[in-house]
Amino acid sequence: MLTRRLSPALLAAWLLVPALAQVPSPLEGTATNPIAVERFARPGPVAGVVARINLRDPRVAVKVLMADGLGPGGGKDCAGRLEVPSALARKHDLALALNASYFRAEPKAGGAPPVTYFVGNCGTPVGWHVAEGQVRARPVEARFEAAFVVHASGRATLHARLHQLPPDVRFAVSGSALVLEQGRLLPHPKDTVRHPRSAVGLSADGHTLLLVAVDGRQEGHSRGATLAELGELMQGFGAADALNLDGGGSTAMVVKDRATGVFTVANRPSGLATDLPSTPVERPVVDVLGVVLREAPVGAGTK
């Protein structure tokens, strides 16, 4: 395995384990922090960030959050207003956030060149979006029925085709396809182009959530991955099931530094700033998959 961990000093600054603590095993956090984040680099090159979240820890809560941004959101044609993941993470005080849904949005009127991904633009997920049991979007076609679900109990599941929501659904978000199912790599022969990728995965016992941002379209840093290659990466990280989320220029993972309260984009987005083309920039998106790290209830411990 060629995954490279950050130095202890950077781990401490990146919402990871304390600098003097023992480095956790691949599928575990620590007693002080149930979230472990690390960079990875593979030949290709393929690089990015992987986060492992201990779902057994009572301090952890996983949510799907709509980007209401500058507008009221809601309505038949506009589920939310686009916002960058770091702003959503700050607004909702998320320990970790990853862009989630594929979505549709219209270019700004009169724009030359046309600009679609701007803060406050009307956006609507093209798959499931359920938050606190409220359905705000449904799949527009069969391929967006693949979904990640958080149940009322806190248990998380992945589904290749979710035609009907389970009765205990609390949060749900769609991707385009499972890339890994019960430990088995799924073929995607028509997908031959490498892109930046965002993915969510679960360990075989369902106790560990994996969130992954694969950088791409950056010569010398990371070429991105096909769906098949994403499945191999997720399998290598310890996932038994994994779902491809919206990727490309939308791929962004945000982490909160607990010591300073600063929110940082952990990976390198492929989008570039209009006025400074050499500078990576977050794309405004319609929703994120977020992890909340709460204070532990009195007397509670890791299960």
pTM comes to 0.87
Angle, vertex CA 164, rays to CA 160 and CA 169, nearest 5: 90
Tokens at 180, concatenated: 């890994």
Residues counted in the chain: 303
Contacts of 252 (CB under 8 A, 6+ apart): 84, 85, 86, 98, 99, 198, 213, 265, 267, 269, 282, 283, 285
Q: What is the predicted pLDDT for the residue at 92?
A: 97
Q: How far apart are CA 79 and CA 68, in angstroms?
A: 8
Question: 66 φ, ψ to 5°?
Answer: -75, 145
Q: What is the predicted pLDDT for the residue at 156?
A: 98
Q: What is the predicted pLDDT for the residue at 124?
A: 95
Determine the distance from the C-alpha atom of residue 79 to the mean position of all C-alpha atoms in its chain, rounded to a whole number: 19
Map tokens 């399998």 to a residue. Answer: 235
Q: How far apart are CA 295 and CA 292, in angstroms?
A: 10
Q: What is the predicted pLDDT for the residue at 28?
A: 46
Q: What is the predicted pLDDT for the residue at 20?
A: 24
Sign of CA dihedral 83, 84, 87, 88: positive
Burial label for 117, CB within 10 Å (0-12, 13-18, 19+), is buried
Reading the chain (303 residues) residue by residue, the pLDDT tens digits are: 333 343 333 333 333 322 222 333 344 456 678 999 999 999 999 999 999 999 999 999 999 999 985 444 445 567 899 999 999 999 999 999 999 999 999 999 876 788 999 999 999 999 999 999 999 999 999 999 999 999 999 999 999 999 999 999 999 999 999 999 999 999 999 999 999 999 999 999 999 999 999 999 999 999 999 999 999 999 999 999 999 999 999 999 999 998 999 999 999 999 999 889 889 999 999 999 999 999 765 555 555
Nearest residue to 178 (alpha-carbon basis) of 206, 147, 154: 147
Angle, vertex CA 178, rays to CA 54 and CA 159, nearest 5: 70
Neighbours of 157 (CB within 10 A): 16
Q: How far apart are CA 95 and CA 15, in angstroms?
A: 8
The side-by-side arrangement of strands in the sheet containing 208-214 is 35-42, 46-54, 208-214, 197-202, 241-244, 177-181, 184-185
* Coil vs helix vs strand at 250: helix
Amino acid in position 231: G
